[in-house]
């Protein structure tokens, strides 16, 4: 099967790309919902040292030290940047690693390098990863926002149907109330050919603030997630999964958005594979 070509738009609706790795933690019996990562403190010390050598001098603690670490499981505690407000960035917490980027986005080829480096630091920093780093979830998420320039200020159901291929059919209600209806939920799609993963499409109305101005936005998230791990995942397996997930999400975005909508994204430019 020929490999799909990657491309970028000059004015894309992209808000953020989030790649996420979660691993098993140990539940705390006396505190419902709480758990601990017994190796987190050692891992975080090693991870921090490796990142500082790689030029990530700006480290910010997101969750205050006063909050017990048992209550922070699978939430980011630290954020690592090369400079203040710089992107892309890494985040870590007990049972969690993420790599995130916002525009300007140069495509998967460039972001994959950043993600791969982060995964190398993860597996090199975690004590005996082949034994203790037991992956339980992988997720790749693309978040896009459609605003006035994309025609999203029109009636919500019409935008979903005309430009995203999602039909919201409601009966006629008093005072034409159906015209103001919103779809807030998710569509799940089983993907057995991608390591027993599944896809998620969510669409919801929202507001994005830019230059202190609030803009009405229709937010769409395209997600590929894997929760089923019958075998122990090594770094090469994780990288392979993210590549497959990106290829599918790339195809989904191109198929979901109408040709008319894509015209508002500006010039389309192919990214060289080498």
pLDDT tens track for 206-215: 888 877 788 8
**Does pLDDT of 1 surpass 60?**
no
**Does pLDDT of 49 surpass 90?**
yes
Is residue 97 domain-shared with residue 201, that is, in the same domain?
A: no
Lowest-confidence segment of 20-24, 27-31, 241-245 by average pLDDT = 27-31
pLDDT attached to residue 246 = 96
pLDDT attached to residue 178 = 53
Is residue 124 domain-shared with residue 171, that is, in the same domain?
A: no
Is residue 199 domain-shared with residue 177, that is, in the same domain?
A: yes
Q: Hey, which residues does 259 pair with through a beta bridge?
A: none
Is residue 229 domain-shared with residue 246, that is, in the same domain?
A: yes
Lowest-confidence segment of 1-10, 25-34, 74-83 by average pLDDT = 1-10
- 213-236: average pLDDT: 88
Count of structural domains within the chain = 2
Q: Identify the DSSP state of 176.
A: G
Q: Looking at the domain assignment, is residue 15 inside a domain?
A: no
Q: Which of 116, 133, 150 is the last residue of a domain?
A: 133
- 262-268: average pLDDT: 92
- 41-66: average pLDDT: 94
Exposure pattern of 71-88 as b/e (b: 16+ CB <10 Å)? ebbbebbbbbbeeeeeeb
Share of the chain above pLDDT 70, in %: 89
**Does pLDDT of 169 surpass 70?**
no
**Does pLDDT of 62 surpass 80?**
yes
Q: What is the largest CA-CA distance in the chain?
A: 64
Q: Looking at the domain assignment, is residue 251 inside a domain?
A: yes
pLDDT attached to residue 173 = 64
- 235-258: average pLDDT: 94
Half-sphere exposure of 39 (CA within 13 A, CB side): 19
Is residue 146 domain-shared with residue 68, that is, in the same domain?
A: no
Lowest-confidence segment of 139-148, 181-190, 196-205 by average pLDDT = 181-190
- The residue range of the domain holding 195 is 141-266
DSSP 26-81: EE-TTSTT-EE-TTHHHHHHHHHHHHHHTT--EEEE-S-TTS-GGG-TTS--EEEE
Q: Looking at the domain assignment, is residue 208 inside a domain?
A: yes
pLDDT band per the 50, 70, 90 thresholds, residue 181: low
């Amino acid at each position: 099967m020929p490999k799909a070509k990657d491309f970028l738009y000059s004015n894309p609706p992209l808000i953020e790309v989030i790649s996420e790795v979660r691993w098993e933690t140990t539940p705390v019996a006396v505190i419902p919902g709480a758990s601990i990562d017994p190796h987190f403190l050692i891992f975080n010390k090693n991870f921090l040292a490796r990142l500082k050598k790689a030029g990530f001098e700006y480290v910010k603690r997101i969750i205050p030290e006063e909050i017990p670490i048992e209550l922070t499981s699978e939430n980011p505690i630290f954020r690592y940047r090369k400079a203040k407000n710089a992107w892309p960035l890494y985040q870590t917490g007990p049972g969690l690693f993420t790599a995130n980027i916002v525009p300007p986005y140069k495509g998967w080829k460039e972001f994959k390098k950043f993600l791969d480096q982060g995964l190398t630091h993860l597996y090199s920093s975690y004590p005996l990863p082949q034994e203790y780093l037991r992956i339980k979830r992988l997720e790749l998420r693309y978040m896009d926002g459609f605003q006035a320039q994309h025609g999203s200020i029109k009636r919500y159901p019409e935008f979903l149907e005309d430009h995203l291929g999602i039909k919201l059919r409601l009966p006629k209600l008093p005072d034409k109330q159906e015209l103001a209806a919103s779809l807030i939920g998710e569509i799940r799609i089983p993907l057995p050919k991608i390591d027993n993963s599944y896809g998620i499409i969510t669409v919801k109305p929202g507001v994005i603030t830019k230059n202190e101005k609030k803009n009405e936005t229709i937010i769409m998230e395209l997600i590929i997630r894997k929760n089923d791990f019958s075998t122990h995942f090594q770094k090469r397996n994780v990288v392979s999964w993210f590549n497959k997930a990106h290829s599918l999400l790339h195809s989904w975005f191109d198929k979901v958005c109408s040709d008319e909508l894509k015209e508002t994204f500006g010039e389309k430019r192919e990214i060289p594979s080498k």
